[in-house]
Chains A and B, each alone.
Chain A
């Protein structure tokens, strides 16, 4: 639908290829000025801000800007904003913590981060534990599941050389004390009281062995003893396993689970502040098993 020829003549650049002429529709001049302005801006920017790569690092820029410093400043600002809450958490009465909604939520959120960074390596990111590392979600606690018990366990750890207050007991290796037949019998007894399939005759024989050797710590009925960190044997939860082979190994060689003392006073590589310990205790306590 071509209309009549252009009234306003569009000039050509004079370039001709195979009879095709190149029309000259020039750019507006302000466009060029913007282009020059971006060059000037680029020069200014590369002087003002970190820009040119050198062998080590880059030019710093006279404004001294750095993203790392900005992050550090942001972190410092958050720390300053939270200083009150951290102070309150450090001095908090843990049993009354859940009464202060803001502080409690702060503790749980902080505790989640502390747990992920320091505890999840053994206890799992979901706190479900692993063989030899207790599950923190259930209602069975070796040393106590109140928020204060948890805080104490985190502070001083279990069976370590660093904290003088570390929870410490030691199960004897019964392989040196009992015969193999006695161990086999006591294993069947433990399986019986925990509601698992067991050889009734062996289990009956094992009861005597159990009462003579194990009941002092694990209780007459296998109910365990928290003062000794002795696991409950008549329930459905096993730290190492409730099958015959694992139980036999446990009785023969004993177990010696160790946890570091996380307090700054004891931990050889830094550890956690009092507020961080309170936070992680609050977090673990509200995972479903807390007492």
Chain B
């Protein structure tokens, strides 16, 4: 470069995007998915589930204070957190699967950023009108009219944000009680703070930042390319059919001209503000709205649909060579997606299996090895064990402790007459258990004698056992 030129600016101003309204198959699909996902999000905390008088009756509840996670009939304790880890692994593998099969469907249809932005744009269009009206309003000087529209829009956005933050906090405590407290102003400050933060971030990300989040803040667009290949179904422009593009003039038919009439419909509806005809782009979230827009236009000029369409990059080679391209299922079912499905199912079945073999009675035995044994004055050798009994049911349960028969061992529990331990509903109770081997018995003089603790639910007669070791005195 010559030094006399002015260097180009290193920074670019933000260009606002005004997506035009569009209707069609993918737009309808997105409305349904939005209604479904937002419905799940907003309504789930209000579903009730009867677990007994001493347990919360909220179907989905993250009870941080007592460290429990409730999901309908499933209750997760802190020591079972691997279920959550497993679900996260499944979510990750699921994302890989869908991306390698169908490109960025997550981004285009299900990502909260997309869903809420879609909702915010809907509100925006409702208040300020469609694309042209919004561009005019953007360029207009501030007036009472503009201020009224803007304030109305911002108020509605803020209300949506408030509902979003509100729904979030309902997952963490009893929703009806919290709602009353929130309205009365007696809820915990953390609830208000969380709601305020989520209201502000929803407003900002859905109303202001929008596509900037996807382009600059989100790591997924950078990673997803690693999951995609030529078989991945993604959105592309059939330039071999559309080019050379040109305006369609009445009465003129230029046989050299392609199908693209350069109407910019695909560009005008794009929420990311890109031109799909430029090919694969990092900004494209594959929302499908350009397909709807182009199909609509093709129908109007009497051309077949699909100038902009879901297609695999392999199809392009076939279509250019005028071959019939492979059916969609052949693209989707390939070693890569089958592997992802297999891994995903493996984790899923593992979790289901772990869920179903969860014992009704949960006991852990921790031998106290400081010291390994205690000699009593009559020569009895004693070992001490910390036993944790978990009662995962909604009413108190009486547990009877014992050791297996065929030993000389006797047990008693610190602070309790006998061996009956009553564990309150949905709680863990730790007891210290003394195991005595009489003087001269084999256990008292053997270094390590295996034996088994048994716990019996005296109401249901369910039993569980844990094997452990008794340390004798060898010198």
Contacts and interface: CB of A to CB of B under 8 A. Distances in A.
Interface of A: 1-4, 6-8, 11, 13-16, 24, 26-32, 98, 124-126, 128, 135, 137-140, 195, 232, 235-237, 286, 288
A13 B8 contact: yes
A29 B376 CA distance: 79
8 contacts: A3-B280, A4-B243, A14-B1, A24-B8, A27-B11, A124-B371, A140-B377, A288-B434
Contacts of A3: 237, 239, 277-280
A135 B9 contact: no
A170 B267 CA distance: 102
Given A15-B1, A24-B8, A232-B377, A128 B14 contact: no
Contacts of B279: 1-4
Given A128-B370, A235-B378, A286-B414, A1 B230 contact: yes
B5 A7 contact: no
Given A3-B237, A13-B8, A232-B377, A126 B14 contact: no
B316 A1 contact: yes
Contacts of A13: 1, 7-8
B190 interface: no
Contacts of A124: 370-371
Given A3-B279, A14-B1, A288-B382, A26 B9 contact: yes
Contact of B414 (A27, A140, A232, A288): A288
B52 interface: no
B326 to A, nearest CB: 16
A29 B278 contact: no
Q: Classify the secondary structure of B's interface with A.
A: loop
B415 interface: yes
B174 interface: no
Contacts of B368: 126
Contact of A27 (B7, B10, B313): B10
A283 to B, nearest CB: 12
A138 B13 CA distance: 80
A3 B439 CA distance: 89
Contacts of B243: 4
B142 interface: no
Given A3-B239, A15-B1, A126 B415 contact: no
A140 B237 CA distance: 90
Given A14-B8, A137-B374, A286-B415, A29 B14 contact: yes
Contact of A236 (B8, B237, B379, B384): B379
Contact of B377 (A16, A125, A237): A237
A286 B11 CA distance: 72
B377 A138 contact: yes
B357 interface: no
Interface in B433-468: 434, 439
Given A137-B374, A140-B376, 15 more contacts: A3-B277, A3-B279, A4-B279, A13-B7, A15-B1, A27-B11, A27-B12, A28-B12, A28-B13, A124-B371, A125-B370, A135-B374, A138-B377, A286-B415, A288-B414
B375 A237 contact: yes
Nearest to A26: B12
Interface of B: 1, 5, 7-14, 212, 216, 230, 237, 239, 243, 275, 277-280, 313, 316, 368, 370-371, 374-379, 382, 384, 414-415, 432, 434, 439
Contacts of B379: 195, 235-236
* Residue of A138, A195, A232, A236 with highest tally of chain B CB at under 10 A: A236
A168 B213 CA distance: 79
B7 A14 contact: yes
A14 B2 CA distance: 8
Contacts of A30: 14, 212
A36 to B, nearest CB: 12
Given A3-B237, A14-B8, A29-B12, A137 B371 contact: yes
Contacts of A98: 415
A30 to B, nearest CB: 6
A27 to B, nearest CB: 5
A107 to B, nearest CB: 13
Given A6-B278, A125-B370, A138 B212 contact: no
Contacts of B12: 26-29
Contacts of A11: 8
B374 A128 contact: yes
B365 to A, nearest CB: 17
Contacts of B378: 235-236
B291 to A, nearest CB: 17
Nearest to A104: B415
A236 B7 CA distance: 94
Nearest to B317: A1
A30 B11 CA distance: 9
Contacts of B1: 13-16
Nearest to B244: A4
Nearest to B371: A128
A288 B5 CA distance: 89
